[in-house]
Amino acid sequence: MGSFNAGIVWAEQTGVYTANVDGSGIRRLVPRFALDDPFDGYGGPAWSPSGDRLVFVTRYSDSVDLHILKPAAETERMLKPKGRERFPRTGRRQTWLTDPSWSPDGQYLAVSDGWNLINSTIRILSLREGRLLRPLTIPLRRHADFLPAWSPNGGTIAFVRLPVTRDEQVGAPAILLIGPDGRGLRRLTSGTSPSWSPDGRHLVFAWGTGIYRIRADGGGRTRIAARLGGRGSFLEPRWSPDGRKILYTTSRHAGSGALWTMDVDGSNRIRVVLRSSDIGSAGWRAG
């Protein structure tokens, strides 16, 4: 696979891509399968804290799988963890692991585990043991838990809880915090797609037509960016490893997507990547 640029990484339907922070040197890092359905594709790319491994999600023919890629070693493997459980009453196995987030030591992944919107929960996957640990949240029928984000000190996991009605209509998302031992559950704020600052003191998140910053104690909620002109929405803001920038995606109804960077106060917004297809999720490479 040779050398590659990996300042930023993102997923599209056709693969996982990397580029320099300024958007130059775009390269498709992971093309894996032919697409048979518009819902097939890739998601959730995230570099390990050491920057030598990339985890991502594939969805193909109703199968959703986690993969870990080591670009330098030109190796890739699918994660098939032990510790699957069956849902109460249905007896169906949980088979969809999505939204991976690395622990600071690179030994664990926080994931969303569930086979449909209603039953998803947050769990820890031990990479060393190849086993799913017990759920941190309970898979209740009236909400879905997803998009976990592990804090830099390892002591807290932020995630999104989405209320779901009987006919699977969704309500307003909220960001909650919980310890990796399943204790200390509390609500932080309304919003989605949380990302921690490198010092763990703040988070950024998306809400409505803006990107917001908030202290980890729940205070100081501030909108730092409103939607840029035209139709579209903010998706998945991500704090840079050096704490100076925020990467975020925008999507338009026409099916195009873009990656932007800005300073942490919302100034100096620069579009670094423009694509003809939607960008599902994005992130930074550590270091």
Closest CA to 247 of 208, 284, 273, 212: 284
Distance in angstroms (rounded) separating the CA atoms of residues 204 and 236: 9
Considering the domain boundaries, does residue 264 fall inside one?
no
Residue-wise pLDDT for 131-184, tens only, equals: 888 889 886 667 889 999 999 999 999 999 988 776 666 778 999 999 999 999
Considering the domain boundaries, does residue 174 fall inside one?
yes
Residue-wise pLDDT for 92-122, tens only, equals: 454 588 899 999 999 999 999 876 656 789 9
Considering the domain boundaries, does residue 217 fall inside one?
no
Contacts of 245 (CB under 8 A, 6+ apart): 21, 239, 261, 262, 263, 264
Report the Cα 99 to chain-centroid distance in Å. Answer: 5
- Residue range of the domain that includes 173: 81-190
pLDDT > 70 in the chain, percent: 79
Considering the domain boundaries, does residue 195 fall inside one?
no
In the structure encoding, which two tokens stand for residue 245, read together?
Answer: 């920038």
Helix (H) or strand (E) holding 113: strand 108-113
Considering the domain boundaries, does residue 127 fall inside one?
yes
CATH code where residue 154 lies: 2.120.10.30
Considering the domain boundaries, does residue 85 fall inside one?
yes
